[in-house]
């Protein structure tokens, strides 16, 4: 447990040093840096994509086709003995 306490203490010390470094950089950069970061953050959140009902319908249809093809392929690979066993267990 003593090692855990040392690790926590070291991490807190590093966090304090990082906080001081960030505040010093903000003082040097002034408002220009803060505005730049804010614009970048807004640009990321502003681009939010929405799916149209038609697009969603196409995705659903494609998924259904894929699963139908997989089921058909699985059915072809099953032997008659497996089919009979599956019917008995159902």
Q: Look at the block and give the residue holding tokens 């997989």.
A: 70
Q: Report d(CA 68, CA 50) in Å as an integer.
A: 28
* Distance between first and last Cα of the chain: 56
Mean of the per-residue pLDDT values of the chain: 81
- Tokens (6 digits) for 31: 């408002």
Q: Report d(CA 34, CA 41) in Å as an integer.
A: 11
* Least confident segment among 4-13, 17-26, 31-40: 31-40
* pTM of the predicted protein model: 0.36
Q: Report which DSSP code applies to 50.
A: -
């Amino acid at each position: 447990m003593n090692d855990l306490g040392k690790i926590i203490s070291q991490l807190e010390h590093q966090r304090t040093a990082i906080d001081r470094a960030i505040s010093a950089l903000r003082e040097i950069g002034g408002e220009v840096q803060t505005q730049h970061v804010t614009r970048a953050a807004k640009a990321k959140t502003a681009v939010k994509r929405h799916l149209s009902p038609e697009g969603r319908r196409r995705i659903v249809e494609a998924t259904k086709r894929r699963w139908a093809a997989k089921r058909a392929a699985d059915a072809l690979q099953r032997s008659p003995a497996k089919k009979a066993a599956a019917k008995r267990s159902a």
